[in-house]
Structure 1
Amino acid sequence: MTSIRTTSVGEVRDLIIATLDRAGVPQPDVDAELLIGHVLGLGRGELQAAVVMGRQVPGKQLADISAIAERRATREPLQHILGVAPFRSLELAVGPGVFVPRPETEQVAQFAIDALGALPDPEPIGIDLGTGSGAIALAMATEVPHARVFAVENSVDAFIWARQNFTRVGASNAILIFDDMAHALAELDGQASVVISNPPYVPDAAIPRDPEVRLYDPHAALYGGEDGLDVVRQLSETAARLLRPGGTLIIEHGELQGEAIRDILTNDGWKAAATFRDLTQRDRTTTALRA
């Protein structure tokens, strides 16, 4: 992108929107306002007010805006540039090496939050397997404060980001553990009320369409074997070990995988396997009950 010469917030915004649009960035207007606001220290509403008022941008900040807009035009994730990603009521630190939490996962987390919150147990146990940034686990811990929440991650890079977020959020009822899913939390066998996971579920031969995913999300967080369900099979085994009878398993997955996951769970002895759609009417979440 050519250097920005104008000093009007409105003109700068229009230039960046056009640049991001040419690069194929979805919602270029939103990203442009977030990028400019990041440099100027303004929220989107404040930035829009600055446009109306004809506010000018100092030269140093123009250079900073130009630099990060150039990065976004290469399809580097917005969240990597800003250093944070929103998730429900939280703002989480993210960057290279960790999966960026998606809006659709907020609805998946709601299943776990509802299940934990509805239990008569004064201190129910929830477990997030493959926690990544810690998004689901920290949402559970902050929204169901009487629960004990355990988060498991086996990627060193992701664990570093999760640890930063656990410190950032400061939920005293949440515990982060570095371990492999297959062997984690043996001391809690048969005690958990909810196990949730957003496992890697992209088939190995599939190529994600969006450059932000294809080029920047860690492969270990994306790919799940030939049919994408290898980790789901392990998850079924581990969750059966951890959950008490009647406990709930919640799995996020791709829109075409609900039937196959229900078959895996049913064959493994789970009860009442059911798949639910997200807000775009795509299959997104499958739940089942421990027999």
Structure 2
Amino acid sequence: MDTPPDISLAAARANAAARLAAAGITTPEVDAELLIGHVVDLGRGELAAAMVVGRTLAPRDAELLDDLVSRRAAREPLQHITGTAYFRSLRLAVGPGVFVPRPETELLAQYAIDELRALPEADPIAVDLGTGSGAIALSVASEVPHATVYAVENSVDAFVWARQNADSVGATNATIVFDDLAHALARLDGTVSLVVSNPPYVPDAAVPRDPEVRLHDPAHALYGGPDGLDVVRQVSATALRLLRPGGRVLIEHGELQGEPIRDLLAADGWSSPATFRDLTQRDRITSATR
């Protein structure tokens, strides 16, 4: 039997993008390039250069790409297929059992980083409640090396991913802790400068439309009770216990939840609750002071 000929990277990209577009993927060209890059171990810039010079894809690699494109067309998350999610400057390992970090959460990490950098303390303490993959905590630890960062997770599957990412990132000022959010880190009560959290906040009845989210993100990382705020209430209570006077809490949430979270925090005794918008001008982060 004759060996199939090599296919040009440009043709492979065009074919993959067409298949992904037909499957309803909203970024078919980007996803096609990332899948090809995963197969041939090239970044998107390197892949673009390789296409310009006419590099080809060997039959074995073309077969692998065909399988990966089929998985993505079936709406398996791109990050599960490649095993990688990029968050700020970090390359994180992700897969089944852990929430895939979203680009909008990079804004929450930036707020946390800015808060810590502005503090007068030489060694502030920060806590990430519900760390998932570790994206926020490890970004903060990497970008604010004088801070001590604790990342709390109560899912065994997510904890394993977070520990793997902590080992890979190598931020020695970050500690991953397996514990329930309600009781975590009691030894730090009253000493923490900043608590940050991207908790599950989707109301139980508001099932996400995207198959990548609905079918693949773990339910415990998505749903927050009838109004979506059950875990937010726990974050508020735990943060009040952990923070020193003047310490701050930062919580990511859905675009319609700013006002109810401000009300919740005010009722719990927090000062100056305020909500900030993301780059699309949607309410995204609410903060308050202990």
The question of whether the paired residues in 1 share the 8 Å contact of 2:132 and 2:153 is answered with: yes
Report SS of the residue matched to 1:137: helix
The question of whether the paired residues in 2 share the 8 Å contact of 1:6 and 1:12 is answered with: no
The residue aligned with 2:137 is 137
State the Cα deviation string for residues 187-233 of structure 1 (Å, max 9, x = none).
00000000000000000001101111000000000000000000011
State the Cα deviation string for residues 133-171 of structure 1 (Å, max 9, x = none).
001000110100000000000000000000100101111
The question of whether the paired residues in 1 share the 8 Å contact of 2:152 and 2:177 is answered with: yes
CA distance in 2, matches of 1:21, 1:58: 24
> What pairs up with 1:70-81 in 2 under 5 angstroms?
70-81=70-81
CA distance in 1, matches of 2:6, 2:168: 38
CA distance in 1, matches of 2:71, 2:164: 24
The residue aligned with 1:69 is 69
The residue aligned with 1:29 is 29
Structure 1 moving runs of 4+ over 4 Å: none
Structure 1 segments unaligned to the other structure (5+ residues): none
1:183 Cα deviation from its structure 2 partner: 0.2
The residue aligned with 1:273 is 273
1:50 Cα deviation from its structure 2 partner: 2.0
The residue aligned with 2:202 is 202
TM-score of the two chains, using structure 2 as the length reference: 0.97
The question of whether the paired residues in 1 share the 8 Å contact of 2:93 and 2:161 is answered with: yes
State the Cα deviation string for residues 103-124 of structure 1 (Å, max 9, x = none).
0000011111111111111100
CA distance in 2, matches of 1:33, 1:189: 47
CA distance in 2, matches of 1:110, 1:260: 23
CA distance in 2, matches of 1:158, 1:146: 26
The residue aligned with 2:112 is 112
Aligned residue identity for 2:231: V
Q: Number of residues paired by the alignment?
A: 287
The question of whether the paired residues in 2 share the 8 Å contact of 1:130 and 1:181 is answered with: yes
The question of whether the paired residues in 1 share the 8 Å contact of 2:6 and 2:59 is answered with: no
Report SS of the residue matched to 1:103: coil
CA distance in 2, matches of 1:13, 1:166: 34
1:26 Cα deviation from its structure 2 partner: 1.5
CA distance in 2, matches of 1:54, 1:119: 53
> What pairs up with 1:219-238 in 2 under 5 angstroms?
219-238=219-238
CA distance in 2, matches of 1:174, 1:262: 29
Structure 2 segments unaligned to the other structure (5+ residues): none
TM-score of the two chains, using structure 1 as the length reference: 0.97
The question of whether the paired residues in 2 share the 8 Å contact of 1:34 and 1:43 is answered with: yes
CA distance in 2, matches of 1:46, 1:94: 23
CA distance in 2, matches of 1:246, 1:279: 28
The question of whether the paired residues in 2 share the 8 Å contact of 1:80 and 1:94 is answered with: yes
The question of whether the paired residues in 2 share the 8 Å contact of 1:142 and 1:171 is answered with: yes
- Say if 2:137 is the partner of 1:122: no
Q: CA RMSD in A?
A: 1.0
Aligned residue identity for 2:215: L
The residue aligned with 2:16 is 16
1:46 Cα deviation from its structure 2 partner: 1.6
Aligned residue identity for 1:269: G
Report SS of the residue matched to 2:56: coil
Aligned residue identity for 1:205: A
Aligned residue identity for 1:135: A
The question of whether the paired residues in 1 share the 8 Å contact of 2:130 and 2:152 is answered with: yes
1:42 Cα deviation from its structure 2 partner: 1.2
CA distance in 2, matches of 1:231, 1:171: 27
> What pairs up with 1:45-64 in 2 under 5 angstroms?
45-64=45-64
CA distance in 1, matches of 2:193, 2:5: 58
Q: Percent identity?
A: 67
The residue aligned with 2:260 is 260
